[in-house]
Amino acid sequence: MSAGAKKRIMKEYGECMAETPPGMKINFDERNMTKWEVLMDGPDGSVYAGGHFKLEIVFPNEYPFKPPVVSFRTKIYHPNVSNDDKGSMCLGLLRPDEWKPPNKVVAVLRLIQSLMVEPNIDDAIEPSIANEYKENRKEFEKNAKDWVKRYAK
């Protein structure tokens, strides 16, 4: 990893520390600054409220010219998060072709929070959950809350 990338990550970490968006906590390891661990609370008013989700943000060597990789380490019932052991998330500004080098990690964290409030159905990674969200909102909410209880407490 280049010196520029390290400098950038440190800078962003400083900003995140100075002004952490509400409802999240960032664990940062000086020795491995390319991997951030984020603890995110389920936003109030969403089906995930009350849950605590562990996320991982991995910065590629080419950062900031390639997007960071975001994954849920805590299982979550969400149309935009892959329902497997990876829990990966790839949409919006996280896509390699939409990523812009001046984007900030804070913007990524805010995007995740807003997606927890309102999933992006058109860009779903789990079509069945997206379908359920569209067709049968009640069932979706029940499943989501169920998963929160099972995995995110």
Partner 1 sequence: MSDPAFLTPEEEFAQLQKLSNEYEPETTGPLVGDRQSSAAIAIEYANADPVYRVKTAALPAKYAFFRTCRGDGHCGWRAIAFGYFEALLHVGDVTKFEVEEARLISMNNLLNLAGHHEDLYIDFAEEAYDLLRKLAGSLQVGNGAGLLLEAFNDYSISMSIITYVKLLASSWIQSRANEYQHYISTDLKSYCSQNIEAANCEIDDVGVAALSTALLKPAGIGLEILYLDRSVGEEANVHEFSQPMNFNGLIPMIRLLYRPGHYDILYKAEDLPAPPQPAPIHVALAYNNQHNFEATTPDANLLSMIPGMYSHNRFQDMDQSFGQRWSPTSYDFDSIPAPQPQITPVQSYAPAPIAPVSASHQDYMSPVHASPMSHQSPASHHSLQMEQPPVQLPFHPAPPPPVSIDRAPIAIEREGPFRPSMYEFEPGYGAGEVMPFQTSQFRDSHYNTCHFRNPSFQPEEWSPHQYRTGNKGRHKSTSQ
Assign 93 to helix, strand or coil: helix
| Residue 4 vs 137, nearer CB to partner 1 | 4
Residue 90 annotated in active site: yes
Number of residues that bind partner 1 (CB under 8 A): 19
Give all strands of the β-sheet with 35-41 in edge-to-edge order. 24-27, 35-41, 52-58, 69-72, 88-89
Residue 17, exposed/middle/buried by CB under 10 A (0-12, 13-18, 19+)? exposed
By CB under 8 A, the residues from 55 to 84 that bind partner 1 are: 62, 65-67
Q: What backbone phi and psi angles, to 5 degrees, belong to 26?
A: -115, 125
Q: Which of 33, 39, 69, 90 is catalytic?
A: 90
Q: Which is nearer to partner 1, 73 or 104 (CB)?
A: 104
Site for partner 1, residues 15 to 54, rule: CB under 8 A: none
Q: Which is nearer to partner 1, 8 or 142 (CB)?
A: 8
Instruction: Please report, for the chain, how many H helices and E strands are present, in that order.
Output: 4, 5
Question: If binding is defined by CB under 8 A, does position 101 make contact with partner 1?
Answer: yes
Report the residue from 32, 45, 85, 102 that binds partner 1 according to the rule CB under 8 A.
102
Residue with tokens 């951030």: 36
Output the CA torsion 100→102→105→111 (10° steps).
Answer: -50
Binding site for partner 1 (CB under 8 A): 2-5, 7-8, 11, 62, 65-67, 96-102, 104
Q: Which residues are catalytic?
A: 90
